[in-house]
Structure 1
Amino acid sequence: MSMTLIAVGASAEAAPSTKNTNVASAEATTSSLKRMINIRSTGTKCGKTVIAEASGRGRMTLRIDETRSTGSVLSKNIELSKGAISAGVGWDVTKSRSITVSGSKEVPPGKYGTLKAYVKYTGKKFDVEEFRHGIPDDWVTIRKNKTAYRPIGVCFKYSER
C-alpha cells in the first residue's frame, strides 16, 4: 500500500487506518485532517457539451478538424484541495489538455446529416474521510462517490433526417 500525505495549514499527524486499505492522500487544514479513500476507476464517458459540429445535405462528407483545450471536471463540495485531489487520482486536475477533434461522416443523397463532437473523459471515483479523534475508528466519511474526470479524446454522434 502506498500513502501520500499532503499537509496544508496547521500541523497535524496522520493516524493509521485500520479499516480502509485504498488511501491515496491526506490533507491537514486548520480544523481537520482529511483523506481520499476507496479510489476506483469509473471507465470512460462522453461529455454533454458539443465542442464542434458540422451539418449539411447529402450527398456530401461532413468533416470536423480542430484542436481544443479542455480541463478536468470535478464534483462539487469535495472538501479537499486540488493538490490533494491531484495526488490521489494521479494527474494534475488544475491543468488543461489539448485534444484534437478530427472525424468525418458521409451523408447519403437526399438526407440532412449532423456530426457532433464531445470531449471523452476517463475518471476516478472516491470518498473523503475526516479524522475526528475520540470517536470509534477516528475516521468519518464526510463525502461519498465524488468524481474527477480528465479529458482523453473525442466522442462523435451522427444523426440524419
Structure 2
Amino acid sequence: MKSALLSSRRKTSAVAATVGAVIAITATAGSGVSYAQEGAPGGIPETAISADGRFFTPGPSTIVKRNASQGVEAMESISPSPADSFAIRRVKNKKYLGQSCGTKVIQQISGRGKTTLVLTVEKKVEATVKKEIAIEVGAISAGMGFDVTKSYAVSNQTRYEVPRGKFGTVQAYPLYDQYIGDVYEGASGTWPTGKKVFAYKPVGVCFNQWLG
C-alpha cells in the first residue's frame, strides 16, 4: 500500500514539474514577444514624445533616412482654395523647424538571433497639421508651400544585426519636415492674430531598433 502511495506521489510531482517547465517556457517567450509593447511605443523614451503623443525626437537607437536628398525639399506654389468663413486668414512667415518622427508605426519586423533583420518600407503617409486658430486648409497649403491634405510616399530600407540569443525588433515610423507659420487676418493679410500653424510633410522613414 505504501509502495503504491509513494509511486502516486512521484507521478504527481513529475507532472507538476513538467507543467512548471511549460509555464516557464511560455512566460519567457511571451516576455520576448511583448517587449515592444511595454512602456512607450517602440521602446521610445517618454521624455522624447511630444505632449500630444503624435511625434518624438529621434534618439541614439533611431536611424533617420530621407527619401532622396538630405536637404529640405523644394516647396510648391499653391493657391488657396475657394473662400469660406476663414478665408480672410492667411499663413505668413513660414519657417523650417527641422525633422520630427511620428509615433504611428507604419511597418515592423522582429526575430531572434543570430539573424539579420531587413525592413523595407514603401508607404504613403498623410501630411499633418496642428493649428492654434480656425483657418481653412487651402490657406495653410498656400502659406506652407505644399498641399497639407495630400499623402506623400515614404520609402527606404534598414538592416539590423541581432546577436545570437537576443531578440531584436525594428519599427518604422514616418519622418516629417516640420514648418511653422504665423496666422494673419484681413483681406490682404494685414493684422497678425498672434496664433501659429504647424505643418508636417512626410519625407522619409525613422527606424527605431533595439534588443530585448
What TM-score results when the alignment is normalised by the length of structure 2?
0.56
Q: Does 1:40 align with 2:95?
A: yes
**Structure with bigger gyration radius:** 2
Which residue in the other structure is 2:191 paired with?
139
Question: Does structure 2 retain, via aligned residues, the 8 Å contact 1:101–1:117?
Answer: no
Q: Distance in 2 between matches of 1:7 and 1:114?
A: 44
What is the RMSD of the two structures over their aligned residues, measured on CA atoms?
2.4
Change (3 A) 1:93 1:102: same
Unmatched segments (≥5 aa) in structure 1: 10-28, 133-137
The count of residues paired between Structure 1 and Structure 2 equals 133
Instruction: Name the SS of the counterpart of 1:85 in structure 2.
Output: helix
Correspondence for 1:60 among 91, 115, 138: 115
Which residue in the other structure is 2:209 paired with?
158
Change (3 A) 1:47 1:6: closer
Pick the structure with more helix per residue. 2
Instruction: Name the SS of the counterpart of 1:88 in structure 2.
Output: helix
Q: Distance in 2 between matches of 1:41 and 1:99?
A: 19
Runs of 4+ aligned structure 1 residues displaced above 6 Å come to: none
Question: Does structure 2 retain, via aligned residues, the 8 Å contact 1:131–1:140?
Answer: no
Which residue in the other structure is 2:141 paired with?
86
Aligned-pair identity in percent equals 38
Pick the structure with more strand per residue. 1
Deviations 1:42-98 (A, max 9, x none): 111111111111111100011212421111000145422222211111111122112
What TM-score results when the alignment is normalised by the length of structure 1?
0.72
Unmatched segments (≥5 aa) in structure 2: 1-77
Instruction: Name the SS of the counterpart of 1:50 in structure 2.
Output: coil
Q: Distance in 1 between matches of 2:131 and 2:191?
A: 21
Give the letter for the 2:161 counterpart. E
